[in-house]
Amino acid sequence: MSKPLLLQGGRVVTMDGARRILDADVLVEDGYIKAVGRDRREGRAKTPAIDCTGLVVLPGLIQAHIHLCQTLFRGLADDLSLEDWLAQRIWPLEAAHTADSVHASAMLGAAELLLGGTTAILDMETVRHTGAAFEALESIGIRATAGKCLMDAPSSPAGLREPTDKALSESADLCARWHGAAGGRLRYCFAPRFAPSCTGPLLRAVSDLAEKTGAVIHTHAAETPVELELVKRETGHDEIAYLDSVGISGPRSALAHCVWVDKDGIARLARQATNVVHCPSSNLKLGSGVAPIPEMLAAGCRVGIGADGAPCNNRLDAFEEMRLAALIQKPRLGPDALPAPQALELATLGGARAMGLEAEIGSIEVGKRADLVVLDLAGPHAQPEDADLVSRIVYSARAADVRHVIVDGRIVVRDGMMKTADVAEIRTNANKQARRLRRAIA
Amino acid sequence: MSKPLLLQGGRVVTMDGARRILDADVLVEDGYIKAVGRDRREGRAKTPAIDCTGLVVLPGLIQAHIHLCQTLFRGLADDLSLEDWLAQRIWPLEAAHTADSVHASAMLGAAELLLGGTTAILDMETVRHTGAAFEALESIGIRATAGKCLMDAPSSPAGLREPTDKALSESADLCARWHGAAGGRLRYCFAPRFAPSCTGPLLRAVSDLAEKTGAVIHTHAAETPVELELVKRETGHDEIAYLDSVGISGPRSALAHCVWVDKDGIARLARQATNVVHCPSSNLKLGSGVAPIPEMLAAGCRVGIGADGAPCNNRLDAFEEMRLAALIQKPRLGPDALPAPQALELATLGGARAMGLEAEIGSIEVGKRADLVVLDLAGPHAQPEDADLVSRIVYSARAADVRHVIVDGRIVVRDGMMKTADVAEIRTNANKQARRLRRAIA
């Protein structure tokens, strides 16, 4: 699958069970982590090596809620509420997408993600052209679980609404084509947009399909009080309970946001081992609120993190999300709430769990996939160097500190440069397609 | 003072009265902006030029609340409340400072600031060795108004407390030496730490000294409820009213934080034209809260922005503070609160006012000092390129996008590299001094 590779001489933040931080080499073979320790060089004179002296080796960061199809909409929908943001901008723009623009949007987003140290994403595409996104993800080399967005409720916008059967059969076809592609690097997820956009029968069918195919379910939940009220009025249930009742719960489900969840909802999420995906920038920018993440962690919930789409952030930067996740809880719960080690866990092991990949990624341990990030923290902004390393990563480091990125044992970013795609070409295509989309909704 | 220089072909965010954004050249002579417009090259074949084609030219960013003396403490005081943070870490570390460590700390902080596009700061040093900080600021080329910290109240920590007369006379000496130095680039400020650390007579004397010397006053106010309560108990007044009663108010005063200010306090701040300095990261990280900035702006208050010290942030990044200032108000007041143009104003004109320098910096206009930042927004994270430019600057841009920085007409950063100091040497000195400080308080 890929040549052997030695990451030599770095300081390795393993995120293993003991959360060890080691001065160690990391040996990669066939896309897997083969060894973590000292003197791996011995007898391996021919193994190509990356000199990591003075650098930090991290598990690849994981963002478990991304909309790559929205990357082209960045800066086109600022300072609006979720409901206006969706109805006035995002839905019309998504409806105007072509296969070319979906491809360009995925390439732009994936380039930003990889250059910033995010090696794996759980992605929700739009209703059409999801195959074009997969083609982009296949070529650029990021680990991705992506799904076609499902919207079949009568109240959904006409430009995106589909008949239930069509939505489901196209999903099943995409799953058959892409789930496990690229040596398992690509996977499919079933992606109902959110409860108000979907009928009960669709949600139940999604739950069955996910069970049958071993794919995960990726949706939004409890983002705003308006959404909660809508679901309550239509179903008579709290949203988290309603989703549970139609089978959207458990370790195979990832619910983005969960800002407006009460004690009962938190208990239910914990009991079912449903994954919550925290999106701090997005929740602030759309005015949604601050999700009760420390309460969820205390209750035993599984929590990942994500930047959401570019227009509600406007970055796709895991460092930004980690830092904000730690900062925004403190005015409410005190300065020791969500300390740096917890923030780093959200972006590594938490994301791996949300993607159903905790046995494969999220830590640097022998037998896991070789998804690795090498950070250079020599900049003035990350000094002094003897301070706690996890604090330096969460509070001081930034996407621009990423030097090398490896996914499945393949070097996708080296010395801060994209190796699997031409960034100038990505930019040109993105701008051409973004102009066309803007004209289409003008 | 400096050679003529032409910034040629950039997109210029002027922040002038009409907030014009122009395709224009900027001509710099003798440290001043001499012309802004097209075809400035004509007849100037010999003027050295920086090619700004495809780049964005911004007024130098201004941070009106910084503690350079704390830069070496970054990462040594995470996840603590303000009171514990001060008593257990910051005060003992400040008390252990030597002239060498104050110098190293200022160099490290100023390098990070300049590399990230901050050209001017209002700085509070510690009680001793302020001259060493000024020497660093003089050599590295940042615009700075700095002051010795004043702490004379009996409740102040013994390691930092000084007799009132000594504190004042040393301040007056520093003011005589540094106020207006380096061609006006350096200025002095009188810097009582905060009301609970200072006696009434000291605060009144500070007000008189500032009046007499034309220097500004730089202090903290209303950061936490504990502080408010302390001031109320000791003086019988609300803190903002108390500071006003001792002459710490008006356009010559800058009050950092102002998180816990009620309607009357806001009205007083507006009436007196006192400067508020918003520190969003710091207020989150110390758990202080969210300052009512939109309410202050609506009331007509003058508001700047700042990163505060490195240990409560842990960056000194104006882009981070602008983005956070815009984001954190939205859950409370709605997604249209503090939109991008207001955030950019806080970090330019707002900072200029807080430093008493609105006639000299904060915008790109003929006759102002040539403090300029050139940004490269070609990265994937700032595409598409046709989106609103101010949104791109506030929500997407990052410190690492800064290509060139000019202060007083002098190029201090070129192609992302520090021109006025050796960053490797700064790092070595900073780490040596940080190790010594940590040992001193162990």
pLDDT computed for residue B235 by the predictor:
95
B142 with B270, same domain: the answer is yes
pLDDT computed for residue B2 by the predictor:
66
A119 with A178, same domain: the answer is yes
- For residue B41, pLDDT over 60 is answered with no
CB pair distance less than 8 Å for B78 and A395: yes
User: What residues in B contact A291, CB-CB < 8 Å?
Assistant: none
User: What residues in B contact A112, CB-CB < 8 Å?
Assistant: 379-381
Please count the structural domains in chain A: 2
- For residue A40, pLDDT over 70 is answered with no
What tens digit of pLDDT does each residue of B92-141 get? 999 999 999 999 999 999 999 999 999 999 999 999 999 999 999 999 99
CB pair distance less than 8 Å for B384 and A334: no
User: What residues in A contact B344, CB-CB < 8 Å?
Assistant: none
| Alpha-carbon distances, residue B278 vs B229, B322, B326, B423 (angstroms) | 21, 10, 11, 29
Long-range contacts of B226-231 (CB under 8 A, 24+ apart): B226/B82, B226/B83, B227/B82, B227/B194, B227/B195, B227/B196, B227/B260, B228/B260, B230/B195, B230/B196, B231/B195, B231/B196
pLDDT computed for residue A100 by the predictor:
98
Which distant-in-sequence residues (6+ apart) come within 8 Å of A346 by Cβ? A278, A293, A303, A304, A305, A322, A325
User: What residues in B contact A398, CB-CB < 8 Å?
Assistant: 315, 398-400
**pLDDT > 70 in chain B, percent:** 98
A442 touches chain B (CB under 8 A): no
- For residue B42, pLDDT over 70 is answered with no
Confidence band, pLDDT 50/70/90 cuts, at residue A442: confident
B30 touches chain A (CB under 8 A): no
Handedness of CA A128, A132, A133, A134 (dihedral sign): positive
Minimal CA separation from A325 to chain B, in Å: 11
A103 with A30, same domain: the answer is no
B199 with B252, same domain: the answer is yes
A10 within some domain: yes
Q: How far apart are CA B218 and CA B194, in angstroms?
A: 9
B393 within some domain: yes
A248 with A346, same domain: the answer is yes
B187 with B50, same domain: the answer is no
Q: Mean pLDDT across chain B, nearest whole number?
A: 96
**How many CA atoms lie within 13 Å of A79's alpha carbon, on the beta-carbon side?**
18
Lowest-pLDDT range of A318-332, B83-97, B139-153, B351-365 = B83-97
Cβ neighbours of B400 (radius 10 Å): 21
By residue range, what is the domain housing residue B193?
61-354
Q: How far apart are CA B110 and CA B71, in angstroms?
A: 9
Confidence band, pLDDT 50/70/90 cuts, at residue B79: confident
pLDDT computed for residue B46 by the predictor:
78
**Residue A332 is encoded by which pair of tokens?**
């409410």
- Report the SS3 class of residue A254: strand
Q: How far apart are CA A391 and CA B371, in angstroms?
A: 33
Test mutation, B84, B224, B226, B327, chain A, max A CBs within 10 A: B327
Q: Mean pLDDT across chain A, nearest whole number?
A: 96
Residue (of B257, B188, B180, B181) closest to B217 by Cα position = B188
Cβ neighbours of B386 (radius 10 Å): 13
How many residue contacts between A and B have a Cβ separation below 8 Å? 198
B88 touches chain A (CB under 8 A): no
B385 with B314, same domain: the answer is no
Q: How far apart are CA A104 and CA B202, in angstroms?
A: 63
DSSP conformation letters of B202-241: HHHHHHHHHHHHT-EEEEEES-SHHHHHHHHHHHSS-HHH
- Report the SS3 class of residue A41: coil
Minimal CA separation from A320 to chain B, in Å: 9
A280 with A410, same domain: the answer is no
CB pair distance less than 8 Å for B391 and A75: yes
B434 within some domain: no
Q: What is the mean pLDDT of residues B328-337?
A: 96
CB pair distance less than 8 Å for B399 and A385: no
What tens digit of pLDDT does each residue of A54-71 get? 999 999 999 999 999 999
Residue B265 belongs to domain with CATH number:
3.20.20.140
A83 touches chain B (CB under 8 A): no
CB pair distance less than 8 Å for B74 and A112: no
A425 within some domain: no
A183 touches chain B (CB under 8 A): no
A437 within some domain: no
Residue in A closest to B282 by C-alpha: A327
pLDDT computed for residue A80 by the predictor:
78
A233 with A377, same domain: the answer is no
A439 within some domain: no
B179 with B316, same domain: the answer is yes
Q: What is the mean pLDDT of residues B74-103?
A: 90
Confidence band, pLDDT 50/70/90 cuts, at residue A182: very high
Cβ neighbours of A264 (radius 10 Å): 11
A428 touches chain B (CB under 8 A): no
Q: How far is CA B170 from the centre of its chain?
A: 23
Cβ neighbours of B182 (radius 10 Å): 18
Which distant-in-sequence residues (6+ apart) come within 8 Å of B164 by Cβ? B152, B199, B201, B202, B205
- For residue B45, pLDDT over 60 is answered with yes
Q: How far is CA A25 from the centre of its chain?
A: 27
pLDDT computed for residue B39 by the predictor:
65
| Alpha-carbon distances, residue B398 vs A277, A332, B94, B382 (angstroms) | 25, 27, 30, 9
Q: What is the mean pLDDT of residues A135-147?
A: 98
**pLDDT > 90 in chain B, percent:** 93
CB pair distance less than 8 Å for B423 and A85: no
B432 within some domain: no
- For residue B1, pLDDT over 90 is answered with no
A388 touches chain B (CB under 8 A): yes
Minimal CA separation from B209 to chain A, in Å: 35
Residue in B closest to A84 by C-alpha: B335
Q: How far apart are CA A408 and CA A346, in angstroms?
A: 21
Q: What is the mean pLDDT of residues A283-311?
A: 97
Please name every residue paired with B405 in a beta bridge, in sequence order, or none if there are none. B373, B413
| Alpha-carbon distances, residue B339 vs A121, A258, A290, B83, B373 (angstroms) | 29, 25, 19, 32, 22
Lowest-pLDDT range of A5-9, B70-74, B85-89 = B85-89
Q: What is the mean pLDDT of residues B399-409?
A: 98
Q: How far apart are CA B240 and CA B229, in angstroms?
A: 12
The answer to whether residues B265 and B237 touch, using CB atoms and an 8 Å cutoff, is: no
- For residue A43, pLDDT over 70 is answered with no
Confidence band, pLDDT 50/70/90 cuts, at residue A428: very high
Residue B368 belongs to domain with CATH number:
2.30.40.10
B342 with B264, same domain: the answer is yes
Q: Which of A75, A396, A423 sits opposite B388 (nearest CB)?
A: A75
- For residue B44, pLDDT over 70 is answered with no
User: What residues in B contact A288, CB-CB < 8 Å?
Assistant: 331
Minimal CA separation from B70 to chain A, in Å: 11
Residue in A closest to B113 by C-alpha: A381
Q: What is the mean pLDDT of residues B274-301?
A: 97
B68 with B52, same domain: the answer is no
**pLDDT > 90 in chain A, percent:** 93
Query: How many residues belong to chain B?
Result: 442
Amino acid, res. A275: N
Test mutation, B90, B108, B395, B435, chain A, max A CBs within 10 A: B395
Lowest-pLDDT range of A81-95, B51-65, B90-104 = A81-95
Q: What is the mean pLDDT of residues B398-416?
A: 98
- For residue A186, pLDDT over 90 is answered with yes
Confidence band, pLDDT 50/70/90 cuts, at residue B3: confident
B436 within some domain: no
